[in-house]
Amino acid sequence: MKEFSPIQSARLALRPFKESDLDEFVAYRADPDVARYQSWDDYTKEDGIAFFEEMANARFDAPGEYYQIAFELMETNDLIGDCVVHPLAEDPRQVEIGFTLARKFQGKGYAYEALTTLLDYLFVDLKKHRAFAVSDVKNEGSVRLLENLGMRREGHFVQNIWFKGEWGSEYLYAILNKEWSRGRR
């Protein structure tokens, strides 16, 4: 296990959260369009403070633990989103990923760039075997992004989750290190 050190892409810096991120973080998480397919509703400043306290004690790449990574525009230093890394407790060579992006930055390739950078890091530097993500079947943007990353749809779970007052269905996407490496040459 190691501490997360910032990594960069052409336009983004992926880094640990800092206290000055709080207002921007709460603002995009409180947006109903952003929260639509996420586990939260009505995100408050208190929720953000609790999250920041949790992340201050979180360990990157610790089996079974979730670690959230901020991503910012290098040109302006604006926080625009975050992604999560969750190595499985029973096999930390397999890692779940997820992402959230502020609405005004959606559709500009930032999430793709952030996840490409993250997957490069997970597969090349950390030698992870498999990365996977779960998406609500109605979340067309997320589904398109995961497929554009070259992830394979491995499962379609029908009404497998009680989500925001109704039964929801999810897709499971995954990619292996060797598939990512081959596609990146």
- Residue 52 to residue 3: CA distance in whole angstroms: 17
pLDDT tens series, the chain, 185 aa: 568 999 999 999 999 999 999 999 999 999 999 989 898 888 999 999 999 999 999 999 999 999 999 999 999 999 999 999 999 999 999 999 999 999 999 999 999 999 999 999 999 999 999 999 999 999 999 999 999 999 999 999 999 999 999 999 999 999 999 999 876 65
Between the alpha carbon of residue 30 and those of residues 36, 47, 91, 150, the distances in Å are 10, 10, 34, 30
Give CA 81 to chain center in angstroms.
9
Nearest to 100 by CA among 37, 173, 15, 23: 37
Q: CB of 58 within 8 A of CB of 68? A: yes
Nearest to 61 by CA among 34, 31, 92: 92
pLDDT of residue 3: 81
